Chain A
Amino acid sequence: MTEVRFESAQRIYPGADEPAVRGLDLTVEDGEFMVLVGPSGCGKSTTLRMLAGLEPVTDGRILIGDRDVTSVAPKDRDIAMVFQNYALYPHMTVADNMAFALKMAKVPAKQRRARVEEAARMLGLTDYLQRKPRALSGGQRQRVAMGRAIVRQPQVFCMDEPLSNLDAKMRVQTRTDIANLQAELGITTVYVTHDQVEAMTMGDRVAVMDQGELQQVDRPLRLYDKPANVFVAGFIGSPQMNLLRGNGAGGVVKVGQHTLPVGTDVADQAGEEGVTIGVRPEAWRLVSPDAGGMPIEVTLVEELGSDSFVYGTVDVGGVAVRIIVRIPAGERVHKGEVLHVTTDPSRVHIFDTASGDRLSA
């Protein structure tokens, strides 16, 4: 049973005023694939490095299983880490790279070899065991880094953006490989990435961070369907959710001179700054001009084959606000046209502009 628990874990870098990670409370279940995601500088890597013991914990504590590891040396935490740049030892062969930790742990040579060979078989590296890292492709190096983690049979895998140095195609393939491997081994994994597609496709649960604070932890689809605040709403989903400021009145929200149906009356819940409503690109519905709806002037159309994304602007009180609309592939839309769109109350997310928190259920 290896559960990882952060209890008010905090990290303040020497000389910094603001903590890089602020009072983080997070529990990773046994065998779970937890993805930490967020923009650069959000504290996700620092969080992982605190778990690995590479970064001291300023305040709070970290538990692996029932053991408090807050001040335990990295090597005694029973974790393995995969680094963004792989950090393979350039002068050692693939086999030696993978066996290094076992050698340090004084595992007998015979057993070492067996474990390295088994890991190499799982990763398709058997033919490369005697090569040096520089004679391998990027994808192979990535697998060696994985292999080095696997042979240790650790309680926790820590992965710090392990795919960001691969080309796009390789990344998609390796993504599935890592997810499958983790499911097969059942080892609790904490995975850091800035790529929300990686987060959504790989994680059992995803923790979204921003400015050192945890914004929301949930299953990927829940994050998509019920973002807890404006940040998560804007971060998860590609292309990103349309966020418009407005004022609630009755069952509608007025965005400038336009009106969008939201179903419930949110006026009394919102602060002085009004509400921000979020509509995903696929939640817009095209309507005829006389049926009301917001007029959008098309500036760019991305045709992806299965569907198209229309980028345009809507005039809100004299300011051009960007809007992204997904339309079915059959529809023909051209630059310069004006579309009229509206949405359904059930597909609108409502946030308080001042706090950013979600108001709708």
Chain B
Amino acid sequence: MLVFVTRRLVVSFFILLASTALTFFLVAYSGNPLQDLLELRGPQRDAKVAARTQSLHLDQPVWIRYLLWLQDVGRCLSPFGGPCTLGSDRNGGAVLPQLQTAIGSTLRLVVVATILALILGVVTGIVTALRQYSTFDYGVTFVAFLCFSLPVFWISTLLKQYVAIDLNTWLNNPTMTTAGLVILGVVVGALWALVIGGDRRRVLIVFATAALATISVMYVLLVTDFFREPYFGILGIAVFGVAAAVGWSALFAGLHRRGRSVLISAVTTAVAGAVIALLLRTVIAEGDWLVILLVTLGLIAVGLLAGYLLGRPTQRLAMRVSALTGVTVALLVVVDQLLRAYPALFQATGGRPIKTTGSATPNLEVDFWATQLDSLMYLILPTLALMLASFALYTRYTRASMLDVMGQDYVRTARAKGLNNRTVVVRHAFRNALIPLATLMAFDFAAIFSGAIVTETVFGWSGMGKLFTTSLSNIDPNPVRAFFLVSATAIVLFNMLADIAYAYLDPRIRLA
């Protein structure tokens, strides 16, 4: 395995080198950086031309410029490099500082969009494969096709215009008429009924339960003024945590006798997690990234311990499921804190929580959680716009892969062994279905970068995309190259992760 990783690293390095070379040359021939200066009149002109030629090395042949640039990049990467600038933009300023501010927001956007698209896409793909040819399947297929066909810039603007404004208005005064409640319940109930499927009796039961549940939950939320001061507190964490524990156990271990020990250890983890959250609540409330990390790791440790102690006879499975529950509880704690910060943020930002322009509120004087919530608010719409096409892709691909796997001989063998449906799907089919996905992830990540350029333009983010478009319009080569460098590095790293995941999933690669 180590050999595999090292080999990939070396190959990736060379690919990166080739990629930067290619883009460097293409950018060099994409326009004359001196163009605007050449149109000037006046005594300053020659001096300016000379200055820019000097700083951009325009008097050297292109390949020398590449080597110089490469040298500068090397200086940036090595700790003993000395000052590095990643080249200078056309006004003589260093590129690197501009990059540093831009990278953060863009990477945030790209990573969150990828993760969301991946998780949602895979889950939907699997469910549609299991429910092949059902109404739900057809519905999702149509939605997927629609998402493929939507131009990112168009949907972004529409989201900005309609969702943001209308939602903001509603959040200012969250009420709902009885008719609205009923409609909401009916819609949600119908969706659940479609997903679960089955015969008429089951469909009706699911519909009724889901509709009633939605209506009552919504009613309670409105009555308790949840949309103005949201939180769910320790009680909420405990309740949802236990629900998650039950859910994960049901999925991976089954709820019958064999899976009981897993269930017990997972529920214990959830409860312990809630208790820990209660005990540490002041520390958490102050919060920063380190605290979050420690809490998460701590809860994972609690999960592993619970699985180890309580998980006999299926210790390893119990440990894994409990650790997963621990992570879920940590997530719940974070969400709770973020929700609590909402009122403060609401006030500080003038009553328009969902943002449409920019990536962060300037001059925000609030605590850690509120700042994070603020970034999150800015992130919602652009991420949504960006992930739609990827979501559609992952859904279709996972569905096709899952269908293929379900038709394989070893799934038939698993059935012939008398295993129940859940085990067959989760233990036998699922992992094999994921294997081809690794290659898809490679292609898709680059596409997300393309989409990010557009989304940043529409939502006014000062990220890499903006850097790219402005510099390209101004015929300013070095920032453009910096964009390609960063995106290529991110993509290469991501591909390596995907390949490693691939090797992990498929022993035929690992142990050829």
**Chain A complexes with chain B:** no
Query: Using a CB–CB distance below 8 Å, which chain A residues touch chain B?
Result: none
